Structure 1
C-alpha cells in the first residue's frame, strides 16, 4: 500500500463532486455545506438546508430569505415558516413581499395570454374609462398585477 498524502484516509470526510449526497447522509461544511445543499436538484435537500441555515447567523438568514424565491413552493414555504415570526427589518420586508398564493410563472403567462373564452363569452380586460358595455357577450377580466398588504 502506498503512502500518498493527497489521498483520503479511511476516516477522512470527503467533499464530493457532481453526485447528490445520499438522502440519509450527512453533508459537512458549515455555511458552505448549506449553500451546496441549496443548489441541489433534490427538493428535500434544499428544505433541509433551509432548516439548517439559521444556525449560521446573518449569512444563514440571508440564505433563508433567498429561499423564498426558490423554484419549489415547498422550499419557499419552509423558508416562510422560519421567517414569519422574526422581527428583523429585512425579514419583515421579505415576508411582506412573499406571495404564497402566486401562480408559477408559466401559468401566470398562460392566463394572461391564452384565456380568451369564459362561460362561452369573449374575455376582454376591463377598462374603467370605457366601463361594461356588453355583459351578454363579453366577460370582463379584472387582473391584479400587484398585491400589497396593508400592515
Structure 2
C-alpha cells in the first residue's frame, strides 16, 4: 500500500512538471463602437470592437454629417440608417436602410446611393488588421480591387 501511495505521489509530480501551456493570443483591448469617416472619395461607416474593425460600409457619396453613429448622411442629404447587431463581424446582422444582412455572408458593404435609391453589395473580407480610423480604412479599401474600384468611381469629398 505504501508503494502505491509513493507511485501516485511521483506520478502527480511528473505530470505537474510538464511544459507550461501558452495562453491563446487575445485581441488587444480598446475602444469599441461605431462611427462615420470621410474618405478622399465616397465615405465609410464602421463598427469596431477592441480596436479591431468588425464591419465596414462604404458609400459612393461624400459624407455630409459625421455626428450620428447610426445614420450616414451623404452630401446630397440622403440618409442611410446603419445598425449593427454583431460583436465580432462574423455572426449577427447589420441593417442598412431598413434591410437586414447576415454578416456571416460578408462584413463589408458597398452602398450606391445614386438617385436616393440604395443598391447594396455584400463582400466577405478579413478585417482583423484594419484599425478603425479613416487613414487605415482608406488604405485597406484602395488595396482591395473591388472596393477600390467602387470608391474610385465615387464622388470626391467636398472641401
TM-score for both structures, normalised by structure 1: 0.23
Per residue, is there more helix in 1 or in 2?
1
Greater strand content: 2
TM-score when normalising by structure 2:
0.22
Relative contact order, CA 8 A, sep 6+: which one is greater?
2
